[in-house]
């Protein structure tokens, strides 16, 4: 933490491994006033920083991890991108992030054989701000395994409540092995309209006997934030659709962006760099409007006439 006025170091906190990702900030108690932040490292750890009124009372705790010795299937997973954050009732924060090593995307560099037994994963973790203990993100007794929930969704998938506020589970995870070997998360995620979007890359081996090379298969995902069901091809990216679509051109897609833009004097929520929710052809820079799947009609609850006591 640096003093913006003079550059002096206010506080610093040690981490188990290098922090390559940005630090994600969130305002929970008061809108516009940051009171918590999250950092992730290349060892698969998640840290929460709690800002009190006095700088001397600022603290950082490791709240989750994915390469603990207690669960060997989580060994080696890295977090290179900051989590997407969403505040929820009951002083909870949803974190959405995936593991991968964008710096080693090739079959010859990436631990390709290791991905057969220890695939990279995408996680949605619900952090309770009242606690300081560390959650094992690969523990199936704490995290739901939604790897096969909603590949091509059904009504059953939509009825799965998942990690709604009040759930006893700490979140869910999804193995990135449904389309082939070696897939990994290569971007940050965004949360919009009750869904989470992110992108991946999977190395494609060269065709034997040819000199051609491949940039790998690039995919954009839209998942229901609460139960991991697919959001592509269904209204409002809700659930019951397809989980991902391929970006034409392959390679390493840029991190998706969420923004509000003025169109005809009206503020419109759009994303850039996400898979097309309609299911049409997607590119890593395609824009689209995002609308939540809600009923816009309002109903009158109470009416007070002038002069009524």
Question: Residue 244 forms beta bridges with which residues?
Answer: 221
Would you say residue 129 has pLDDT above 50? yes
Please check whether residue 12 lies inside any domain of the structure: no
Residue 133 tokens, joined:
């203990």
Residue 245 tokens, joined:
């679509």
Helix ranges, the chain (H): 155-159
Please check whether residue 43 lies inside any domain of the structure: yes
Please check whether residue 294 lies inside any domain of the structure: no
Would you say residue 150 has pLDDT above 60? no
Burial 179-205 (b: 16+ CB within 10 A, else e): eebbbbbbbbbbbbbbbbbbbbbbbbe
What is the average pLDDT across 233-253? 87
pLDDT of residue 72: 46
Please check whether residue 5 lies inside any domain of the structure: no
* Closest-CA residue to 59 (of 135, 136, 129, 137): 129
The gap from C-alpha 87 to its chain's centroid, in whole angstroms, comes to 14
Please check whether residue 15 lies inside any domain of the structure: no
What is the average pLDDT across 175-195? 93
Query: Regarding predicted confidence, which is higher, 244 or 305?
Result: 244
Please check whether residue 10 lies inside any domain of the structure: no
Please check whether residue 39 lies inside any domain of the structure: yes
Per DSSP, 282 falls in state B
Would you say residue 155 has pLDDT above 70? no
Q: Confidence class of residue 160 from pLDDT cuts 50, 70 and 90?
A: low
What is the average pLDDT across 300-308? 64
Residue 159 tokens, joined:
């009825």
pLDDT of residue 157: 57
Q: Which range of residues forms the domain containing residue 128?
A: 24-289
In this predicted model, what pLDDT tens digit does every residue of 210-226 receive, in sequence order?
Answer: 776 678 999 999 999 99
First CA to last CA distance, the chain: 55
Please check whether residue 269 lies inside any domain of the structure: yes
What's the domain count of the chain?
1
Q: Confidence class of residue 189 from pLDDT cuts 50, 70 and 90?
A: very high
Would you say residue 61 has pLDDT above 70? yes
Cβ–Cβ < 8 Å for 202, 215: no
């Amino acid at each position: 933490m640096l003093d913006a006025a003079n550059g002096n170091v206010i506080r610093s906190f040690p981490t188990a491994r290098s922090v390559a990702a940005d630090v994600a900030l969130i305002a929970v108690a008061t809108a516009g006033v940051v009171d918590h932040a999250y950092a992730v490292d290349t060892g698969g750890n998640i840290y929460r920083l709690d800002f009190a009124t006095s700088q001397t009372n600022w603290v950082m705790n490791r709240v989750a991890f994915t390469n603990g010795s207690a669960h060997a299937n989580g060994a080696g997973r890295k977090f290179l991108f900051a989590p997407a954050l969403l505040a929820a009732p009951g002083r909870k924060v949803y974190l959405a992030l995936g593991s991968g090593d964008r710096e080693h995307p090739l079959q010859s560099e990436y631990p390709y054989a290791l991905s057969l037994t220890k695939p990279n994963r995408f996680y949605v973790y619900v952090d309770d701000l009242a606690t300081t203990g560390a959650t094992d993100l690969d523990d199936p007794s704490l995290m739901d395994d939604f790897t096969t929930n909603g590949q091509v969704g059904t009504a059953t998938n939509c009825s799965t409540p998942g990690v709604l506020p009040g759930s006893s589970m700490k979140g869910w995870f999804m193995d990135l092995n449904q389309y082939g070997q070696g897939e990994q998360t290569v971007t940050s995620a965004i949360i919009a309209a009750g869904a989470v979007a992110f992108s991946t890359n999977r190395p494609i081996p060269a065709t034997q006997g040819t000199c051609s090379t491949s940039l790998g298969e690039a995919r954009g995902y839209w998942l229901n934030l609460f139960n991991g069901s697919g959001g592509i091809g269904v209204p409002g990216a809700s659930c019951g659709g397809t989980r991902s679509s391929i970006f034409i051109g392959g390679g390493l897609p840029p991190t998706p962006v969420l923004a509000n833009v003025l169109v005809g004097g009206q503020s419109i929520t759009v994303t850039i760099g996400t898979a097309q929710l309609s299911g049409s052809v997607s590119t890593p820079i395609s824009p689209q409007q995002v609308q939540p799947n809600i009923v816009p009609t309002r109903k009158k609850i109470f009416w007070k006439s002038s002069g009524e006591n």
